[in-house]
Structure 1
Amino acid sequence: MFHIDLDENGLSGKLPSCLGNLPSLTYIYLFENFFNSSIPSTLWSSNRLQIVSLSRNLLEGSLSDAIGNMNSLRELNLSGNQLTGSIPRSTGELQSLTYLCLDNNKFNGSIPSSLGNMRALQYLDLSHNNISGSIPMSLETLTYLDYFNVSFNELTGQIPDGGHFANFTSKFFLHNKGLCGASRFNVEVCKGNTPKSSRRNILLRYILPPMALIILAAAAIVIYMIKRRGRDSTLLSFSESNLGLKHGRISYYEILRATDNLDISNLVGKGSIGSVYKGTFSNEMIYAIKVFDLDVQGAFKSFDTECQIMRSLRHRNLVKVITSCSNLDFKALVLEYMPNGNLEKWLYSPNFSLNIGQRLGVIIDVSSAIEYLHQGYSSSIVHCDLKPSNILLDENMVARVGDFGIAKLLTHDQRMAQTKTLGTIGYMAPEYGSGGLLSTFIDVYSYGILLMETFTKKRPTDEIFFGELTMKKWVSESFPNSIMQIVDTELLNADANIEECLVSIMELAIECTTDLPDERPNIKDVHVRLKKINMKVAN
């Protein structure tokens, strides 16, 4: 047994202790079930496990000190359980761990300073627990730490300001009773920092002004040199282990070599703010290269948004960002390559077709991804641009949602927000298109349109829709008796069961596209209903 994947089922009871007796077991995915036992002590003795995902269960008890024996562990997700006790100091011995998610539990005690020894750590979420004490200054030394969240705890003392903490914002430290530190964290200034602050003010007021001309001259020279050598200079968001290359930095010239100088023969897609190329690197690994057109308004912001959001997400139905290449006049993302293209190609290109089971599989994968964005992350993420061209298909026809260029992050206290950035015509919810109002329900609306399009093979901007006739109205007026007259003819057959399933799918699509956001179902309910429909089709 190498890989166990039983997530999102209704499994309950105790986790079997025999899990730790499987010598070849490398991956365990059991998240979103109803397991209510403690974690078997035998599990921590496994030296082959790389990924353990037990989030969103009812697990109890504490973590064993034996966790430090899991030398191969790369990702550990225990969020959304009822685990108690302190975080073991031995956790700091996990030198290969890149992802540690312990949020939404009942952990207490302090954050072990030994976590500063986890040199590969990129993601650490301890939010929504009962952790007290201070944040260890040893965490400043973590070279790859891109995400750190300790909000909703009982922490006190100074927030570290060195290393990657210089890039963190106040939202990651909310609702702690006694934190202090830099003003950008929206906390009180630490009392011990007053003399230091005074010295800094003296330095800024009396010493730096005489040096202003020298600094300006030096800056001009530096800017000139950066412009000349900008294409060699890269800023990476991820470590070399994610890319699988022998070196950690991807330069502009390596991207050119991988894509034959961005040759049109390697172009696999083109969007409003850039193009996607197929790139073959020196180690024969193939990746997708998303190159942003920096002459287009919003391209810089879109690049920054994708980097900020995607680097922290982990889900099998999301396109994974491997690394990035960024300088003054070139920005690109290196992504997983999806050999089967996007859903739009499979719906509309000649010589491509999907049966009803394949289409259901794709949209269920999409609903799983959106459910994770809305409910499985520390804050709700709104994709804002769900459509077939943003749904990619891997070698096994598993759907992956991509393109987070206009996605928005809702904070814990936000149910709705407002934006001036709009999505694609035909897929936008009424409140989003008219007033820029954002909530997770705008994704549900777009998903409803996607359901209609996937099973009718009609775009919401098709020429048959003009005047007051929209796709939503067209489907609603055909429901339920005339549904078989509007669905894609490729799905028609004499099976009465298929007709019943298609009617159920369109009924769900109509519910998703109601005008009032509060009357739309949440994506979790949508996901469950589609899985039930899929079971009928399979039978």
Structure 2
Amino acid sequence: MLERLYLDQNKLQGPIPSENGPLKHLGLLSLSLNLLTGEIPQSIGNLPQLRRLHLDNNQFVGKIPPALGRCLILKLIDLSHNNLTGNIPSEISGLKNLQFYFNLSWNSLQGSLPDRISKMAVVQGIDLSGNQLSGKIPSGEIPKAGLFTKLTASSFRGNRELCGQWIVSLPACPSATSSAGSTGGPWNFHKLFKYLSSVISFLMVYCFYILFLYKYFFGKGNVEQPSIEFPYPRISYKELSIATNGFGKGNLLGIGGVGSVYKGILDNGTLIAVKALNLEDEAAHKSFNVECQVLGKTRHRNIIKVITSCPNLDFKGLVFDFMSNGSLKGICIVMLASVILGVSVKWIYRHDYI
């Protein structure tokens, strides 16, 4: 029933016994800072509950046992400061539950990084320094957010495939066009296909609504439009101004056909996108009525719905749901809807259909 075994910081010598017994409940094994030698036995993969493995600062030789990949719930592996050789087994580089640390530094490991290392989606730290690894590094452009903002060029010394001109002395990255087909690039084929599919899907649905408008509204002359019941009550200009920091530039998402779109947050914490119509544009008044009618009724996963509005003599605004997590897709769809609908209303207005 043993769950934790601490034998670190002693003077233990010799190899780890190849038969480690029925330790089916062992969750932590710490043998760090000893004088242990020999190879790490394959039998270490027979510990199904192992979560933390500390074998660092010993004199282990040979290859990393692929059987370690059978310990599917491992959250930390530290094999640093030994004399391990060979490649990094793809079996352990695919342990997707590794959460805290994956440390193979200061050994004599060779070869390239396995592709499956991308499976470590939640690990907080990976240290492969002090080895003899070769081949390509899947990294590309150095991110501009988070902890990377505090690093200097010395943190990336020796990695000639990395780029990011915002860090002094590093080369600029290729353009989005040239990097779109490269492995690990910010705009690979799968991402591009995903966004193009979303845009095309939106355009197809939008075309049906243009036809709907033409047939049921514009073809019947100037008729009074029925009212729309929004899920939220009408909102005041003051509330929208507070939510968007006075429609400040820091909240501006983009400029559409007949207005600008701002990000905002209401007093209750709701994230919104506010489209403020340019009332100097004569078509903006018509656009407001049309968008209220069409987008207020629309229910489609690729069209953001209007949840309320703010109409008065000096200001007309539409309030949309805001796509969370900084979704590029969400912003693009809001702006695309704004541009296309605005242009459509302008064209119809000029041709006396409204």
TM-score in terms of structure 2 length: 0.47
Structure of greater relative contact order (alpha carbons < 8 Å, 6+ residues apart): 2
**Which structure shows the bigger proportion of residues in helix conformation?**
1
TM-score in terms of structure 1 length: 0.32
